[in-house]
Structure 1
Amino acid sequence: MSSHPHLVHEPTLPWTEVTQGPRVSYRRKQLGAAAKGQKLGCSLMELAPGKHAFPLHFHLANEEAYFILSGTGCVRLGDTSLPVKAGDYVALPIGPTGAHQLVNDGTETLRYLAFSTMVEPDVMVYPDSKKVCVTAGSAPGGDKAARTLYTVLPLSAEVDYWSGEER
């Protein structure tokens, strides 16, 4: 165990495992949170062959980046797909040009570091499923107990600003 709250030794941290349906499956160690980071998140991620961690999405407040440690995969950047391998760094800017999804299309586990600014509130847009997620009180990937708002809606859920209001 570390003698300082801002220093963590990765092998001592437990994995969080997430599986959702047949394609989403990942293991994650939230290094930034464990080291009590506030404005920069960092997670060690592992994807098994044929899996991805998140749907294609982009943020309106948080910038992200990937650094590939081992394995191979394919990163979707908007309408473009690019191969990635160990040593590659991918910047994922805010907005539609930063729409991204990392898929392990290789034969071995894909290990990478996922970085994120920890800005809240944030809005995430999911172009493939035509959804939007709004979060406040805690940045995405941050302390869920601190969230004051978290909702996922279809983009078609838009209503008139004055609908339901007394005039």
Structure 2
Amino acid sequence: MSTDKKTSSINEAGIYEPFSIDDIEWESYSHGKRFGSRFVQLAQFGGAQHIGVSMEELAPGKQACPHHYHHLEEEQLMMLDGSCTLRLGDKTYLLNKGSYVVFPAGQKAGHSLFNHTNETCRYLIIGERNPHDVIVYPDSNRVSVRLTGEGYNKTATMDYWDGEGQ
């Protein structure tokens, strides 16, 4: 990792200036053999507080994240290079360079990307950064509450008066 890269596009006067994507350090994550991605957080580097824009690379045979949908946060995706498989609800779609898809907030159809090819694919992810979002993961029955930073099993539901006594 280079130590001469900037950490944001802000100048001495506190103004965010134009920048090159090459100014940003790539980050990565992985979980087991299935999940993993490499990314740069463009909007955050540029000073954004409300909209997130990341450029991601998905290696062959990897899934970017668990299948999920958002209650309050909209996401959009644009393929830049290569191709991958989008799982959206119960269907799959082939995404190629130039493909664009919107995942509206509240659309109860999970989405996830899998690179089915032998080449790395690259895409932009654009989304709100809603601190109150609730995310549902249909495959694992998990519900994540961003505000509290907690996750729950969706089958452990309660009626309004449960546990309140008489």
TM-score (norm 2): 0.85
Task: Please state if 1:135 is matched with 2:134.
Answer: no
Task: Please state if 1:84 is matched with 2:83.
Answer: no
Q: Secondary structure at the match of 2:29?
A: strand
RMSD of aligned Cα (Å): 1.7
2:154 alignment counterpart = 155
Q: Secondary structure at the match of 2:95?
A: strand
User: Of residues 119, 122, 137 in structure 2, which corresponds to 1:108?
Assistant: 119
Cα distance per residue 1:56-82 (max 9 Å; x no partner): 100000000111010110101111100
Q: Which amino acid aligns with 1:154?
A: N
Q: Which amino acid aligns with 1:56?
A: H
Within a 5 Å distance, the mapping from 1:14-163 to structure 2 comes to 14-136=25-147, 149-163=148-162
Q: Give the 3 Å change call, closer, same or farther, for CA 6–153 of structure 1 in structure 2.
A: farther
Q: Which amino acid aligns with 1:87?
A: G
Q: Who wins on radius of gyration, i.e. which is larger? A: 2
Cα distance per residue 1:89-116 (max 9 Å; x no partner): 1111122444211111111111000000
1:146 alignment counterpart = none
Q: Which amino acid aligns with 1:113?
A: L
Q: Structure 1: any 5+ residue segments left out of the alignment? A: 137-148
Q: How far apart, CA to CA, are the structure 2 residues paired with 1:98 and 1:9?
A: 35
Deviation (angstroms), 1:162: 3.9
Q: Which amino acid aligns with 1:23?
A: R
TM-score (norm 1): 0.85
Q: Secondary structure at the match of 1:33?
A: helix
Q: Structure 2: any 5+ residue segments left out of the alignment? A: 1-5
